[in-house]
A and B are shown apart, each in its own frame.
Chain A
Amino acid sequence: MAAVKTPESNSASAPESKSASAPESKSASAPESSHAASGDAAEDSDSDDGWLQQRTGYRALLRSLLDHPVSGGPRFAYVFGSLLLIALCNQVLTGALLMAFYAPSATDAWASVAYIQDQLWLGWLVRGLHSSGASLLIIGVVLHMVQVAIYGAYRAPREVNWWTGLLLALLLFGFALTGYLLPWDQKGYWATQVATTLLGATPLIGSTLQQLVQGGKAYGNLTLTHFYSLHVFVLPVCLLALVVLHLALFRRHGVTPLWRRGADELARTTEPFWPRQAVYDLAAGTLMIAALFVSVVRTHGVELGAPADPSVAYDARPEWYFLPLFQLLKYFPGSLEIVAALGAPLVFLGALSLMPWLDRGSATLGPAGLSAAQRVRSLAVFALCLGGVALLSGLARRDDARNASFRRHQADAHAQAVRARTLALQGVPVAGGIAVYENDPLEQGRKLFAEHCAGCHRLDRMGPSDEDQKGPTLNRLFSRGYIEAFLRAPDSPAFYGKSPLRGGMKPVELVGPELTDLVEYVYSLAGSKDVDAAKVARGQVLFEDKNCDLCHERDGKTGGQGPNLLGYGSEAWLRGFLLAPASITYYGDKNDMPAFGKKLSDGEMSRLLMFLLAQRAASNSAH
């Protein structure tokens, strides 16, 4: 098969020199005649050349790019390389756009990605195209490799190109690994920990290497800046160099037609790349990009998890294309793990890169191309490699599908992500990603409690110890459990034991169902819907029979020995109490609690109320 030398086709008088140097176009074929029709007149006389052409000679460059002969004529089988180039364009373009809005720092990364995802116009689309584009590239690489394997394009004289292809594929995994961490969400954070920990287990240089990559002993700002620099500069430069090399080698050797076709037929049917092969490539490329858009739009882009939180464990999974390796590690316990993690990819790549020599014995059959049947050894190795990868990822998926706790965990993680991102719409505090939870009114209510109430009251881990507690413990405030415990022992240290209200109320001496009925009635005073009407009715009778109503009015106006219980436990009751605890409808002159409500703004008040009333709801679900 005759290879066209590029320099000739670069020279200004390309049509002539090419027909001289390209034996396969000796017959008057379609390309030549169309040259005469469309291009030659303008190209041959300098005087007609445009300003730009005279100064740059760009047409020669265009011709050398577009008129490259496709031996044996254009085929759809040759589109895969171009598809990868188009998918790569997608990555470069969307990557550049994302760079303009992304901040590689531990405090800002998640917030900036959440901003891209949820607040910028089409941010979800751009991010989705970038992330799914990575998957597309991996799929494209596999398809390209399969085509190359079937056509035998890895064989002499194209071995070096086969290797550069393998290196390119390896680089893609480098991109994927570094890119996965950048959003600094739970998923990326924990999954990448696995990768860097494995790196650290490399014999001898492991820990140094790990620290170098992650910029220190632990994850932090430097990890992100390091990964960012790898992802957007170092790897792209390597990728560019390898792509150029790969394409140059491709141009040198041309396409590899199917072995069945004779030299004469190939020569007769050879056509330049432009326009037919180019149109094939572009048509396939347009379809591919359309499919990418459709899949991204259908899923509304790729999910952004909750912000990375070192204190919250996460059942991390890598991206789907790392699943085979992830699965493999499960079979190699302890110190063997590192052997598998580093060894398996090496064996895999080694086997693939040796493919050109596996069929050595049959090399005598000549360079015209070996049929697939004659390359059974190398193709078997190739199939084994791909099959192994497919099997492992199938196993990984099956494991996860059967793992109920993993699925539950994923659902929780999703709910957490939704919550964090909703809160992020209000802006993320500068303290960083997880500070977004401070936007939650409940969380702000908790802070207000710690600030204003925890001096006297205990709730969860806030507040004083038993001896120092001046007011009741407010855990599960207004819940059935709280009411019951209070009715049984109002003077216990957890209630009024340390307050001036001590001795103000006698313990209720009811037990069993009667106590439950009374509790249900008191609980219902807040206007709750989740009550048992029969119990409430019985409880109301008890309330009056047992003379509770002697001290407790229920009209919201009248004072008594004890607080007025109209709406007890409701937001209105609690608000009124916080504003005027010493009012006659609350605790009157026995009250010792300052009117904190007056110090709070409306917003603060409603957040504190929300937090306190959530105590009731939280413990109800536990009942």
Chain B
Amino acid sequence: MGELQSSERRSALRVVGGILLSALGLAWAIPAALFATSPVRRRRGSTSDAKQPGSEEDRATSVPIASLSEVPDLDQGGEPLRAAVVASGLRDAWNRLDQTKLGSVFVGKRAGALTALSATCPHAGCGIDYDGSRRQFVCPCHNSAFSIDGQRISGPAPRDMDRLDVSEKGGTVFCQFQRFRLALKNKVPV
């Protein structure tokens, strides 16, 4: 009888021990999970000019990339111009950045209109080069090749080069820089 009682008490103690252990674990795990995942949720307490480089919120921003006069006409045999995309007022975690390079784009005039192609390879993100002798874009990593208009010709790239919105105002060319998810058939913004 006494033994039975004692063994019951011990099972009860085991349960209590388990509960306490879980309580302790949860007390740490819940705040830890919320804390660690906060960068993937919306930023809190941020000011309106806070933007993550190249992210969705940033889509509306146009940055100047070149002056109209230096943009080559591809129809006349010009080579696409590689222009760095430099933005201001961006946020990177705790920093406010001025004049940050986001990436580069190839700009040119085609049938009188401005075109801009992201220099980021849609396969795995390497930087695409322009091969003047073949008049093609070539990715040095896994040899994907694209036509001068960005159409995929060969190689492992799953889609054409990513086209970006460009506009011109007062002789300056602006580009809406954006990043897209890699290795997908479709162009999906990051």
Contacts and interface: CB of A to CB of B under 8 A. Distances in A.
Contacts of A101: 93
Contacts of B43: 119
Contacts, number: 115
Contact of A122 (B20, B34, B39): B34
A549 interface: no
A140 B37 CA distance: 32
A528 interface: no
B24 A121 contact: no
Interface in A90-123: 90, 93-94, 97, 100-101, 108, 111-112, 114-115, 118-123
Interface in A260-303: 274-276, 278-279, 282-283, 285-286, 289-290, 293
Contact of B24 (A30, A285, A427): A285
A30 B45 contact: no
Contacts of B46: 119, 425
Interface in B10-62: 10-11, 13-14, 16-17, 20-21, 23-24, 27-28, 31-32, 34-39, 41, 43-47, 49-50
B24 A122 contact: no
Contacts of B96: 426-430, 439
A168 B43 CA distance: 40
A613 interface: no
B10 A425 contact: no
Contacts of A424: 94
Contacts of B184: none
Q: What's the interface size class on A, roughly?
A: 35 or more
Most buried by A among B3, B17, B23, B47: B17
A409 B49 CA distance: 35
Interface string B88-106: 0001011111100000000
Nearest to A90: B28
Nearest to B91: A427
Q: What's the interface size class on B, roughly?
A: 35 or more
Nearest to A118: B45
B20 A425 contact: no
A276 B13 contact: yes
Contact of B94 (A33, A97, A111, A275): A111
Interface string A121-134: 11101100100000
B61 to A, nearest CB: 16
A378 to B, nearest CB: 36
B94 A115 contact: yes
A34 B24 contact: no
A112 B20 contact: no
A292 B95 CA distance: 32
B7 interface: yes
Contacts of A121: 34-35, 37-38, 41, 44
B36 A100 contact: yes
B6 interface: yes
Contacts of A427: 47, 50, 91, 94-97
Contacts of A456: none
In the A-B complex, the 10 residue pairs with the closest CB atoms = A427-B96, A115-B94, A282-B20, A121-B38, A111-B94, A275-B13, A30-B6, A279-B17, A120-B38, A34-B7
14 contacts: A100-B36, A111-B94, A112-B94, A119-B43, A119-B44, A119-B94, A121-B41, A125-B31, A126-B31, A282-B20, A282-B21, A286-B24, A425-B47, A427-B95
